[in-house]
Each structure stands twice: as structure tokens, then as C-alpha cells.
Amino acid sequence: MTTAPSYTEACADWRRDPEAYWAAEAQGIAWTRPWDKVFDPRAGAFGQWFAGGMLNTCYNCLDRHVENGRGDQPALIHDSPMTGTVNTFTYRDLLGRTEKLAGALASLGVGKGDRVVIYMPMVPEAAIAMLATSRLGAIHSVVFGGFAAAELATRIADAKPKVIISASCGLEPGRVVEYKPLLDAAIALSPHKPDACLILQRPQAEAALTPGRDHDFNARVEAAPSHACVPVLATDPLYVLYTSGTTGRPKGVVRDNGGHAVVLWNSMRMIYGLDAGDVFWTASDVGWVVGHSYIVYAPLLRGCTSVMYEGKPVGTPDAGAFWRVIAQHRVKVLFTAPTALRAIKQRDPEGKLSRDHDISCLDALYLAGERCDPPTGVWAHELLGKPVVDHWWQTETGWPITAGFRQFGLFPFKPGSGGRPCPGYDLHALDDDGRELPQGSTGNLSLRLPLPPGCGPTLWQNDDGYRASYLADFPGWYRTGDAGVIDTDGDVWVMGRTDDIINVAGHRLSTGSLEEVLASHRDVAECAVIGARDELKGQTPIGFVVLKSGVDRSESDIAADLVALVRERIGPVAAFKDARVVARLPKTRSGKILRATIRKIVDGEDAPAPPTIEDPTALDELRALLAD
Ligand code: COA
Ligand code: AMP
């Protein structure tokens, strides 16, 4: 019997011979053609993994489990307190539905390399749509349901989908969100038009279909023949996921098929300690990378049962919802965002509602999306009496950069730390000139190239943008955009972004894109948006605007306009509720707005006037405004 390696041994194996390490890890995946090279350093922005190899990701998620006798095991449990339903799909069920949807998409002309945009709430059909697209060798791009029409339009214009799959509505506590009017508006705004839309009709709000373009999802699926898997190259894209960049335009992060399947399959055991048959619940949304990797692909690749939850941590119906789901479905590992725990803690500080449920099945809680603040980590640890593991990653990497590893034995609990680098990531803190800093110094967290398999190899049809965004600042390195420190034990402490990205309830937003919206208001001369510290959401955006001279409307009317404008252009997910009119913004002598200083003042931190400031009294004015 072989024993599992230790963390140190696994890292040493990888460092000694990275290609041999990844070739061994790739054995868990079924390939239709072996790779020519484990790593081709000459291809792509930094090289390509498993070049020449062929596989189908959907086959690895569904068909092979049915072929290997797992057909009757639950693959997906959809639990929706919003509709009061629980539906379980076995691997055989999920395969049957996916084959038919793939057939329906093929009948609409979708083939290898074509794009399919998926704009759906948390319904099982969203996961089936992702799998059916990958079955055809096509490329999906899921857009989070909380984005407004204009954001959806930007993504449609960039991805140029042949087909869009959507639903008539999503369900938020206390309101039905009609998706169809948002979809219609987005298509009208986009210069690219899809050939067809498949609309899942939900009984809470049926949508009128546009003749000639829209088709009823269920009717098309019913009528379609089953479609077989289409093998693709390991280096072909599986999906494009748009995420906030530092400009108003979102970045289309590409994920390729081969490396993605290899690392996700392995991460299920190495990080979460789970194997085929185990129940895993990731309480996130398929619109985010966490949902892509850990609601859909990783658990299915491994043959686990994945729980998909259409609800909130609180209010559906109460702060005991998470404990109910864990107990009812015998969840072994829960993965969620710290903001969800803070919401539960706020409503039920002593966690009394957890005692109504038998949650002894839970082995560990994993957190990501934002840094877990130590009080929340400690609260969860004491309440559950189980390991609480914060792990750090981003849309671009697709799987954790740092983590705690149940397969190797967890590291001692250090609240506030994101664990240690996963084997495959050579992580260092660099100074602003790109020099490696000694352990214990705070710097730009950066990864020495090449990135491991699974990490985004490029941006959609924008190799130059990829190089400029991530590789240009420090040659030979990928810059994560996070600042942090690696301590003498090797534990990594991620302290926050070095750019203008903020994190609101685990959702990544660009203050630049919020500023673009505010600046488009006819009365606004200039503006600054910062992320203010927030007890529940980690950060919330606050906008400071200077009005054009001669504007005679009331400040409160203008502030209300601005809040409505952000909701209309970006969507409710921006949680933009606070716009303040100021006489002027603090600036440097060269005219740069001092956003970092504004943020410190808003957060009540010590904020001395920087030597470059044009007029220090602007800071006093801001302090006085905030004190009112
Ligand atoms: N479709 C449409 N609207 C949506 C939506 C969706 N899929 N998801 C959220 N919204 C809306 C909400 O209804 C809310 O609207 P409102 O302004 O009318 O109230 C707004 O977007 C903000 O939503 P949210 O940030 O989720 O705040 P909330 O107050 O509704 O809930 C939490 C707060 C903490 C409970 C919630 O943010 C949460 O569960 N977060 C988990 C985060 C997460 O999973 N992150 C993924 C990365 S791991
Ligand atoms: P996203 O691409 O939406 O997953 O957001 C990625 C960003 O969220 C990272 O660059 C970090 O700034 C932040 N983030 C995610 N997880 C963590 C974590 N565990 N600790 C600290 N920051 C995190």
C-alpha cells in the first residue's frame, strides 16, 4: 500500500521535475489522444500544458462515471428554498439531459469552437448548459444574473455567441427578477446578434418569446436527438469567463480543457480531501469562477455529488439555512464566501440555529472570494468544531493558489492566513521593481512563470491584453494584483488589491467601471469611487462627485439618480447605495485624485496628507462632510 505524500514531499516532487509531476497528475483524466508534450514552452503567452493531447471535459464529468457503474449515484442535488423544492439528478439523469441539450444546440448550428452565452439563475439547467456546450467542443461564457443589460451586452459583443441560453426569471428574496427583458435589451445594445436563444420558462414569470429567434428550452431539448462527445485539444478553450479588470471593459479570461480537468480532478482530493461518492457543497453562483470550478466541474470530474443551492445564507427562511442543507444532504465539505458567514453570524451570533440540525457529517469548511477576517474564521471554527480553511485564488487561476490540504494533513489554524502555495505555484512577494523580497516582507504577490495547468492561458482573442495586464510589469512573473506577505512558516497573508478592484460580498468589481457610470451623468464634472470597509460585505462602494458649475438640482436628487444609474448600467450586484456630492476632490499637484487617502479617511484610519497633495485643506473638508 502506498501512503500519501506529505506537503513537503509533494512540493519537492513538483520542483524536481514539473513535467513528470503533471504527467502523473494527468493520469486521472480519460484522454482520447495522449499529449505530444507535457509542456510546450514555445506556445502561447508563457507555454502550453498537454500540447497535442485530446479529451472531452463533459465525457470526463459524466459518461465515464456512468460507464464505470456510478449511473445511479446522485451527481447534482438542486436545493431551492426559493421554490421549496429539492431535485436530485443521478449521473445517468444528468448525462441524459446533457446529451439532449447538446443535440438541441447542434440543431441550432453550434459546433466546435462556437460560443454559447449562458445567462441563468441557479437552476440545474445552468450546469447542464455548461456541460452540453463542452460536450460539443464549443465554448461557454456564463454571465452572472445580477448584472444589468449593458454588462450582458458587453459580454455578448465580445464573445459573439451563436446561441444564448437563458431563463424567463430568477428568484431573489421578495422579488422575481425577469431575465427576458434584460436579455432583449442586451441583444438590442450589442452589435453582435445571436442566431437563436433558448429560454427556460419558469412558472414564477413566463416570458414572451421573440418569433424566429427564441425557442422554448424544454420543447427543443425534448425534440432533440442525443449528441455524442466531440474530442478537443487540451489547449482548446472550454470557457471564457468575464471578470472585472482595471478598466471599464471586463476581461474575458480563457480556460483551456486539458489542464483544467487535470488540476480540478486532483484538487478535490488534495485540497478538500474528497473522493468519488462524497457530497460537496459550494454555496456560490455558477456566474463566478468558484461556481464554475467547484459547483460544476471539479465535483463531477471526481465523481462526487455536488449540491447546487438557489437561496441565501439568511432569510431563506432564516440563518439556519446552511445548517439545514448540510444535514439534509449529508454534506462533507462546505465551500462558501466569508460574507455569507458574517451574514449568519449577524443574525444568529451564538449559532443557536445550528443545534436544530445534525451537522456531524461536515468534515471541513473552506472559504474564498475575499480574505476571511480573523473574528469570522474563529467564530466558525468554534461553532463547528471542525477545520476552517481560507484559500486564495482568482478567476484567472481557476483553482486555488494557496490552500490547506486535507490529503497532506492541515496546517495549524492561523486565522487571517490563506494557507500555503499549492504544488505548481512558485509564489513570491516582489518589490515594485520586481525584486524578490525576503520572507516576512509585504510586496506584490507574484507567480514565477510558467503558471501551472488550469490557469488562464490568455484573454479571449486578446493575447496582447493578457501580456500587458499580467506579465509586463515583472518580466518572468505573473502579477496577481494582490499584495501580501509570506511568513517564515511559508503561510501566505493576502492583504488586498494593489489596483482599483474592490471586493463586495465576495463579488469582484472595478471602481473604474463605477466611475465611468457616474461620470456619464450630465451634472457630474468629476468623481472618485472607493471601496469602504463594511461589516457584512467586506467592502461597499462609495462615490464622491463634484458637480458641474451652474447645476441647480438638489444634491439628494442627483445622488438618487446616480444610485439608479449604477443599478441600471452595472446591476444590483454592485450594491451601490451611497453617492456624496463634494465641492472638490483631494488631488496631487499633478491632478491625480488621492483615492487611497480618501479610502483611509472613510474607514476612519490615520490619513496624513501626502507630500504631493495640492491643497491639504481638501482632506479637512472631506473629514467634515463624513462627520455630518
Ligand atoms: N440575480 C439578480 N439579482 C441578484 C442576484 C442574481 N443572481 N444576486 C444578487 N442580486 C441582487 C440582490 O437581490 C441585491 O439586490 P437589492 O439591492 O435589490 O437588495 C443585490 O443584488 C446585492 O446582492 P448581494 O450582494 O448578494 O447582497 P444581499 O444583501 O442580497 O445578500 C449576502 C448579502 C452576504 C447574504 C450575499 O451577498 C451572499 O450570500 N453572498 C455570498 C457571496 C458569494 O457567494 N460569492 C461568490 C464568490 S465565492
Ligand atoms: P475573483 O476573480 O472574483 O475570484 O476575485 C479574486 C480576488 O479576490 C483576488 O485577487 C483577491 O483579491 C480576492 N480573494 C479571493 N479569495 C481570497 C482569499 N481567500 N483571501 C484574500 N483575498 C481573496
Q: What is the pLDDT of residues 188-200, one digit of tens each?
A: 999 999 999 999 9
For residue 248, what pLDDT is reported?
67
With a 6 A CB cut-off, is 503 part of the ligand 2 pocket? yes
Classify the C-alpha dihedral 240-243-247-249 as positive or negative. positive
With a 6 A CB cut-off, is 145 part of the ligand 2 pocket? no
Instruction: Please report the atom of ligand 2 found closest to the CA of residue 480.
Output: 10
Residue to probe by mutation, ligand 2, list 246, 294, 393, most atoms within 8 Å of CB? 393
Q: Where are the domains of the chain?
A: 7-311+391-484, 505-627
- The class level of CATH for 505-627 reads alpha beta
160, pLDDT greater than 90: yes
With a 6 A CB cut-off, is 308 part of the ligand 1 pocket? no
For residue 245, what pLDDT is reported?
76
For residue 188, report the distance from its CA to the centre of ligand 2, in Å: 33
> What is the pairing mode between strands 305-309 and 279-282?
parallel
321 neighbors 314 (Cβ within 8 angstroms) = yes
For residue 628, what pLDDT is reported?
79
Sheet of 74-80: strand order equals 85-90, 74-80, 305-309, 279-282, 333-336, 364-367, 388-390
For residue 113, report the distance from its CA to the centre of ligand 1, in Å: 32
Q: Which amino acid is at 141?
A: S
Non-local (6+) Cβ contacts of 282 within 8 A are 290, 291, 294, 295, 299, 306, 307, 334, 335, 336
The grid coordinates listed for 327 are 444535514
1, pLDDT greater than 80: no
- Distances, alpha carbon 501 to alpha carbons 286, 315, 391, 496, 514, in Å: 21, 29, 19, 9, 11
4, pLDDT greater than 80: no
The grid coordinates listed for 584 are 472638490
Question: Which own/partner pairs from 549-556 qualify as long-range (CB within 8 Å, at least 24 positions apart)?
Answer: 549/525, 551/523, 553/523, 555/581
Q: What is the pLDDT of residues 397-414, one digit of tens each?
A: 999 999 999 999 999 999
With a 6 A CB cut-off, is 313 part of the ligand 1 pocket? yes
For residue 244, what pLDDT is reported?
86
Q: What is the pLDDT of residues 373-388, one digit of tens each?
A: 999 999 999 999 999 9
With a 6 A CB cut-off, is 509 part of the ligand 1 pocket? no
Map residue 401 onto helix, strand or coil: coil
With a 6 A CB cut-off, is 506 part of the ligand 1 pocket? yes
Instruction: Kindly tell me the burial class for residue 109, based on how many C-beta atoms sit within 10 Å of its own C-beta (0-12, 13-18, 19 or more).
Output: exposed
Residue to probe by mutation, ligand 1, list 179, 339, 568, most atoms within 8 Å of CB? 339
* Lookup result for grid cell 487571517: 416
Residue to probe by mutation, ligand 1, list 123, 166, 172, most atoms within 8 Å of CB? 172
269, pLDDT greater than 80: yes
| Confidence band, pLDDT 50/70/90 cuts, at residue 54 | very high
For residue 321, what pLDDT is reported?
98
| Confidence band, pLDDT 50/70/90 cuts, at residue 2 | low
Please state the rounded mean pLDDT for residues 219-247: 95
438, pLDDT greater than 60: yes
With a 6 A CB cut-off, is 368 part of the ligand 2 pocket? yes
Map residue 217 onto helix, strand or coil: helix
What is the distance between the alpha carbons of residues 405 and 424, in angstroms, rounded to a whole number? 14
* CATH tag, 7-311+391-484: 3.40.50.12780
With a 6 A CB cut-off, is 497 part of the ligand 2 pocket? yes
> What is the pairing mode between strands 115-119 and 139-142?
parallel
Please state the rounded mean pLDDT for residues 83-104: 98
3, pLDDT greater than 70: no
**What is the helix, strand, coil percentage profile of the chain, to 5?**
35, 25, 40
For residue 182, what pLDDT is reported?
97
For residue 373, report the distance from its CA to the centre of ligand 2, in Å: 13
The grid coordinates listed for 594 are 488621492
Residue to probe by mutation, ligand 1, list 177, 183, 284, 312, most atoms within 8 Å of CB? 312
What is the distance between the alpha carbons of residues 122 and 179, in angstroms, rounded to a whole number? 13
For residue 247, what pLDDT is reported?
67
Name the residue at shortest CA distance from atom 13 of ligand 1.
172
User: Quick one: which H or E segment has residue 602?
Assistant: helix 595-602
User: Quick one: which H or E segment has residue 627?
Assistant: helix 617-627
Buried b or exposed e, range 531-542, using 16+ CB within 10 angstroms: bbebeebbbbbb
| Confidence band, pLDDT 50/70/90 cuts, at residue 187 | very high
What is the distance between the alpha carbons of residues 245 and 115, in angstroms, rounded to a whole number? 22
> Which ligand lies nearest to the CA atom of residue 144 in the structure?
1
With a 6 A CB cut-off, is 392 part of the ligand 2 pocket? yes
- Distances, alpha carbon 301 to alpha carbons 95, 199, 366, in Å: 13, 27, 19
The grid coordinates listed for 296 are 460544476
Please state the rounded mean pLDDT for residues 595-623: 93
For residue 5, what pLDDT is reported?
82
232, pLDDT greater than 70: yes
For residue 540, report the distance from its CA to the centre of ligand 1, in Å: 12
The percentage of the chain sitting over the pLDDT mark of 90, rounded to a whole number, equals 96
Apex CA 286: angle with CA 281 and CA 292, to 5°?
80
Classify the C-alpha dihedral 384-385-390-391 as positive or negative. negative
